[in-house]
Amino acid sequence: MTMTTYNQISVPSFLYGTAWKKDATARLVQLAIESGFSAIDTANQLIHYQEALVGEALQSLAHRGVPREALFLQTKFTSADGQDHRTPYDPRADLTTQVKQSLDSSLQHLRTDYLDSYVLHAPFSRRGLGAADWEVWAAMEDLYKSAKTKMIGVSNITAAQLALLCEEAQVKPMMVQNRCFAVTAWDRQVRELCQEHGSIYQGFSLLTANPDVLAASQVRAIAARQGATPAQVVFRFAMQVGMLPLTGTSSQEHMIEDLAAERITLSADEVELIETIAL
Ligand SMILES: NC(=O)c1ccc[n+]([C@@H]2O[C@H](COP(=O)([O-])OP(=O)(O)OC[C@H]3O[C@@H](n4cnc5c(N)ncnc54)[C@H](OP(=O)(O)O)[C@@H]3O)[C@@H](O)[C@H]2O)c1
C-alpha cells in the first residue's frame, strides 16, 4: 500500500527510523530492507543518527540488486542548536547556505543525487514562525524546485505553526513528522490540517509515547480478537486514521511483526475506541 502527497508523490505505508542505532545502523538498515521495508528515515545530525552508515547500507544493498529507485529516502536539516561540534555545514554561514550545505552533505552520505523527502527537523520558534523559520523554509522550497528532493516537510511542529506555514508558504509541506501521543487524540489537530492540505502525517514514538495504551485492557482485547499484538493494533490504527507510522525497532522479529500490521483490519468501533482511549 502507498500514500500520495498533494504533488502526486507515492510514499510507502511504513517508515523504518534509524535514530539511536549508532554503529548498528548499517546492519539494521539492511535487515529492515530485507525484511520488507522500503522507506528509511534519517537525519544529518550525528548526536542521534548515523546518516553515513545508512549510505553504507544502501551501497551494499545496491550491490545486491536493490536499486536506489526502489527505496524512499528521507533525511532532515537540523539547525546548529540541535547539533554538537560535528555540525555538517558551516554554522557561521547564513541559514540559506546552511540548508544547502546540509543537503549536499546528506546526498554524499547517502550516496545518491536526490532525496525523496527533505525535512526541517524543527522550527526555530516555539510559538509562531519567525524570520529564521521563513528563511530556512524558503531555502527548502528552492531545493524542491531544483528537484534535489521530491518532497519537503517539517517535524516537531504545532497545529498553529502548521496552519501558518500552509497559509503563507510558496510550497506547502508535503509531509509532517510528529511525536504522536494518545492524550492529544493522537495529534488530531495536526493530522486534520495535513488531511486538509494533502500532506502526509508521519507519526513517531507511537509505541514508546503510549505505554498505557499498549497495556490497556481494551487494546489487549482488540489484539486478542484480531489475533494480533497490541503493537500491531496501534500501528494498524495509525494507518487506518491516515497516518504513515515509523518504527525504530532493532529486532527482525519486530520488523516483520510491525509490517504485518497492515494485514489486519480494525472495525470503525475499534478505531474510534483507540482514537479516544486517552481523552
Ligand atoms: N523528527 C524527530 O524529531 C524524531 C524524533 C524521534 C524519532 N524520530 C524518528 O522516528 C523513528 C522511530 O522512533 P520511535 O520513537 O517511534 O521508535 P524507537 O524509540 O526507536 O523505538 C521503538 C521501540 O518500540 C519497540 N518495538 C517496535 N516494534 C515492536 C513490537 N512489534 N513489539 C514490541 N516492541 C516493539 C522497540 O523495541 P525493539 O527494538 O526491541 O523492537 C523500541 O523499543 C526514529 O528512528 C527516527 O527515525 C524522529
Q: What is the pLDDT of residues 203-225, one digit of tens each?
A: 999 999 999 999 999 999 999 99
Average pLDDT, the chain: 98
Bridge partners (DSSP) of residue 245 are 203
Residue position matching grid coordinates 475499534: 270
Distance, in Å, from the CA atom of 102 to the CA atom of 65, rounded to the nearest integer, reads 29
Total residues belonging to the chain? 279
Query: From the CB of 258, is ligand 1 less than 6 Å away?
Result: yes
Name the residue at shortest CA distance from atom 33 of ligand 1.
Answer: 231
**Tens digit of each residue's pLDDT (9 = 90 or more) over 114-140:** 999 999 999 999 999 999 999 999 999
Task: Note the pLDDT tens digit of each residue in 10-20.
Answer: 999 999 999 99
Going by CA atoms, what residue is nearest to atom 25 of ligand 1? 249
Longest dimension (CA), the chain: 57
Ligand 1 centroid distance, CA of 93 (Å) = 34
- Atom 47, ligand 1: residue with shortest CA distance: 17
pLDDT in tens, 167-182: 999 999 999 999 999 9
Distances (CA, A) of 266 to 224, 231, 239: 12, 13, 10
Looking from the CA of residue 21, the nearest atom of ligand 1 is 45
Gyration radius of the chain's alpha carbons:
18
- C-beta of 155 in contact with ligand 1 (< 6 A): yes
* Reported confidence tier of residue 199, pLDDT bands at 50, 70, 90: very high
What pLDDT does 1 receive? Answer: 76
Contact assessment for residue 109 and residue 45, using Cβ atoms and an 8 Å cutoff = no
What pLDDT does residue 95 have? 98
d(CA 9, CA 66): 20
Continuous segment of H or E residues that includes residue 2: strand 2-4
pLDDT at 2 over 90: no
- Provide the grid cell at 250: 532493532
CA 35, 37, 42, 47 torsion-angle sign? negative
Rounded average pLDDT over 68-73: 98
pLDDT of res. 28: 99
Look up residue 149 and give its amino acid.
T
Rounded average pLDDT over 73-87: 98
* CA-to-CA separations, 144 to 133, 153, 155, in angstroms, rounded: 16, 10, 17
- Could you tell me the three cell numbers for 172? 506547502
- The C-alpha atoms of residue 78 and residue 43 are separated, in whole angstroms, by 7
Check: CB of residue 194 under 8 Å from CB of residue 159. Answer: no
Distance 250 CA to ligand 1 centre (A): 8
